Amino acid sequence: MTMTLEARNIGVKLGSNEVLHGVDFTARSGRVTAIVGPNGSGKTTLLRAMTGEVAHDGQVRINGADVASLHPWQLAAIRAVQPQSSSIAFPFTVLEIVRLGLSAGLSAAESSVPLKALASVGLAGFAGRMYQDLSGGEQQRVQLARVITQVWEPLVDGTPRWLILDEPVASLDIGHQFTVMDLARDYAARGGGVVAVMHDLNLTAMFADQVILMEGGQVAATGSPAEVLTDETLARTYGCPIPVNTTPPAEVPFLLPQARVTLSVQAG
């Protein structure tokens, strides 16, 4: 069953500053929806409005229900949120952090889920380590494992659940970026919904089904990666030339994550 996460006419003011005005947004289950745009365009604020972290005008609906009408425990059962950063004030092991997802989700009886979640983000064997001793990228993946634990099964009785991720690959090396984006892609393929704020346009083009391009607190364009990520649209939004599908001069090396697909096909 395809369901949606919708925002209608969302407006947000932070002090006297109008950060979002009249934003409409629809993400569908079974798909990866990426929110992109320059710094200050309103990407994270939109995500925080949809998750109820900031006061806003307009309406947010998840799987047909008005978010404002749902209890926190009901929301926790159908959507999990990974913010840009998380501050832990007290010493916890990695497993203790990930197990927090069990208390918020529907998988509390499945004690093996946290270890499976850690393995899915490339952290098998890290359960007993202290969270504060990890690198920033490792801590980010621990938080993702916690979020995945909360909504481990993408479908429950035919109803999709949602991963809402704010810059999930921002501090990761390229190998672990692939790990995280493959995980998001798999979650959507199994029926769940994924909404992610992204900065890397290459990864967005490679993994997203739908792209929401933000500019100045509004939606500048929406559609498939091919429809949104064009020379004209990107140059106008980011304020600089961003040629699409154009190789640099011969003496300048460049890396294309999309080439991984070609290599996988050749290896197979």
**Per-residue pLDDT of the chain in tens (268 residues, 90 and over written 9):** 789 999 999 999 988 899 999 999 999 999 999 999 999 999 999 999 999 999 999 999 999 999 999 998 899 999 999 998 777 878 899 999 999 887 655 555 567 899 999 999 999 999 999 999 999 999 999 999 999 999 999 999 999 999 999 999 998 999 999 999 999 999 999 999 999 999 999 999 999 999 999 999 999 999 999 999 999 999 999 999 999 988 888 889 988 887 776 556 566 6
The confidence score (pLDDT) of residue 85 equals: 77
The DSSP line for 136-199 is: HHHHHHHHHHHHHHHT-SSEETTEE-EEEEESTTTT--HHHHHHHHHHHHHHHHTT-EEEEE--
Would you state the pLDDT for residue 263? 56
Task: Give residue 198's pLDDT.
Answer: 97
pLDDT at 247: 84
Beta strands in the chain (DSSP E): 4-14, 17-28, 32-36, 57-62, 65-66, 79-82, 155-156, 159-160, 162-166, 193-197, 210-215, 218-223
Domains and CATH numbers, the chain: 4-80+159-267 (3.40.50.300)
Q: What is the pLDDT of residue 107?
A: 52
Whether the model clears a pTM of 0.85, i.e. scores above it, the answer is yes
136 vs 119: CA distance, rounded Å: 18
- Quick one: DSSP state of residue 130? B
Q: Which amino acid is at 239?
A: G
Check residue 258 and give its pLDDT.
78
Q: 3-class SS at 6? A: strand
pLDDT digits (tens, 9 = 90+) for 94-134: 999 999 887 655 555 567 899 999 999 999 999 999 999 99
Per-residue model confidence (pLDDT) at position 78: 94
Predicted local confidence at residue 89, as pLDDT: 73
242: how many CB neighbours lie within 10 A of its CB?
17
* Token pair recorded at residue 192: 């769940």
